[in-house]
Amino acid sequence: MNDLSLAWRNIWRHPRRSILTMMAIGFAAMLLVFMLSFQFGSYESMINASVKLATGHLQVQGKGYNTKPEMRNVVPTPKAIMDKLSKTQGVDSVTPRAQTFVLASSDTRIRGVLVTGVDPEREKEVFTIPSLIRNGDYLSDKAPNTVIVGALLAKRLNTGVGKELTLLGQSFDGSIAATVVTVRGIFKSGIDAVDRAAIQMLLTDFDDLFVMNGAVHTVVAIIDELSQTAPLKAALEKDPLLKPLAVLDWIDLTPGLKQSIQMDLVGGIIMYGILIIVVAFSILNTFLMAVFERTREFGVMMAIGTTPRRLVKVMLMESMFMTGVGILAGMVTGALLTVYFSHAGISMGGATDLMAQYGMSGRLYPRLSLLSLLVGPTIIGVVTFLTALFPALKIPHLKPVDAMKAV
């Protein structure tokens, strides 16, 4: 009879209580694995939707362009950069963009707008705007001198598909750039800031109009795995071709998105903390009960020569076994649940249409990662061990003669 088998038998003195305790731990571990995976999956969906709408995962720009977007701060040889990015492992698609602010006027109104020159074929692979056309069609190389206009802007300019707009701005070389374009389509991204001030035109038209001589302002890349953003960025920053330029990731480009994710995560952490505290009390209850009801037995065991240290060891073995089984069961069920829903997705019900408007799928997909699998169960393991330590450490303070008087 070694200490491990003694601990094992002690666990099964009260099978129902032990099983309930293990189930509580298991349920909490399962919930944490699934909820964290769901949260991380949702964040990934949000990030992907956001980057596919506006920024991409990575951008190569002229240094300082992100904070001060000046017409003359350009990527002078976009083709070389695009070739480099396209050949980089982990990069899915690449597209060049040039943009500047102009005055856009319709028959009756005038507005300041951001006009972006895009490569329509590449744009379709990178961004979702081509799929968000509500009226008319997306840009095509076969239809020069056309633009697509954000829905709110179209309303403000009182324009529509087939109508003309006059664009007036400043060229790369400082001369006046002016042209008349036809509205080919109206898009609705769902983001007001984009919809009320954005116009897209063919990059070739942009190049001619603003005398760019082949230069662009950004080269945008979409990568295969969101988690590879940081390592890819770091690798690209070291590339001699990109040294004179700035490599920015989605966090640099949309810091607000990361902040809102962090805020949401804090809310989640508070909820998980409460869950872990509830489980800790369940464990505490089990082990306090065990110590109280076995006080007499501890007294006898000490009387016949068992050291308090050995008794504490047996108690902690009991706790670790129950915690281990509970956590393992929770991790397995949590992982299975996550894997199932990562394929099936979770429907967002009434929000499906709303999400679709923003380029997001109406289903959210939990994403199982090493982090989501291990963080919650590890915290539960540590907390339950510490919780079990409290009643176990009462044992060394017992005096055999007093302990044996316990009922």
Partner 1 sequence: MSAVTARDVSKIYTQGDVKVTALGKVSLTVETGEFVALAGPSGSGKTTLLNLIGGLDTPDGGEVTVNGMAFSTMSSGDLAELRLTQIGFVFQSYNLIPVLTAEENVAYILRLQGVGKKERQERARAILNDVGLEDKYDRKPSQLSGGQQQRVAVARALVSNPAIILADEPTANLDSKTGDSLLQMMREMNQKHHVTFIFSTHDAMVMEAAKRIVSMKDGQIVADKTKC
Q: 3-state DSSP helix/strand/coil percent for the chain, to nearest 5?
A: 55, 20, 25
With CA atoms as reference, report the closest residue to 205 among 132, 120, 129, 130: 120
Q: What b-and-e string marks burial along 84-113, b requiring 16 or more CB atoms within 10 Å of the CB? A: bbeebeebebbbbbbbbebebbbeeeebeb
Pick between residue 4 and residue 386 the one whose CB is nearest to partner 1.
Answer: 4
Least distance in Å: CB of 313 to partner 1?
13
Least distance in Å: CB of 320 to partner 1?
18
Tell me, what DSSP letter sits at residue 52? I
Pick between residue 135 and residue 306 the one whose CB is nearest to partner 1.
Answer: 306
CB 74, CB 246: distance < 8 Å: no
Least distance in Å: CB of 319 to partner 1?
16
Least distance in Å: CB of 15 to partner 1?
12
Least distance in Å: CB of 6 to partner 1?
7
With a CB cutoff of 8 Å and minimum separation 6, the contacts of 92 are: 125, 221, 222, 223, 224
- Please state the three-class secondary structure of 349-376 as a single string: HHHHHHHHHCCCCCEECCCCCHHHHHHH
Pick between residue 17 and residue 124 the one whose CB is nearest to partner 1.
Answer: 17
Inter-axis angle of helices 308-344 and 3-11, nearest 10: 60
The residue to which tokens 């991409």 are assigned: 56
Pick between residue 279 and residue 398 the one whose CB is nearest to partner 1.
Answer: 398
Least distance in Å: CB of 20 to partner 1?
19
Measured distance CA(141)–CA(376) in Å, rounded: 52
As a whole number of Å, the end-to-end CA separation of the chain is 26
Least distance in Å: CB of 9 to partner 1?
4
Q: CB 352: neighbour CB atoms within 10 A? A: 14
Pick between residue 102 and residue 301 the one whose CB is nearest to partner 1.
Answer: 301
With CA atoms as reference, report the closest residue to 85 among 207, 252, 235: 235
Q: Which residues bind partner 1 (CB under 8 A)?
A: 1-2, 6, 9-10, 12-13, 296-297, 300-307, 310, 399-401, 404
Q: How many CA atoms lie within 13 A of 232 on its CB side?
A: 25
Least distance in Å: CB of 317 to partner 1?
13
Pick between residue 6 and residue 288 the one whose CB is nearest to partner 1.
Answer: 6
Least distance in Å: CB of 294 to partner 1?
9
With a CB cutoff of 8 Å and minimum separation 6, the contacts of 275 are: 28, 31, 32
Tell me, what DSSP letter sits at residue 399? -
Measured distance CA(51)–CA(232) in Å, rounded: 16
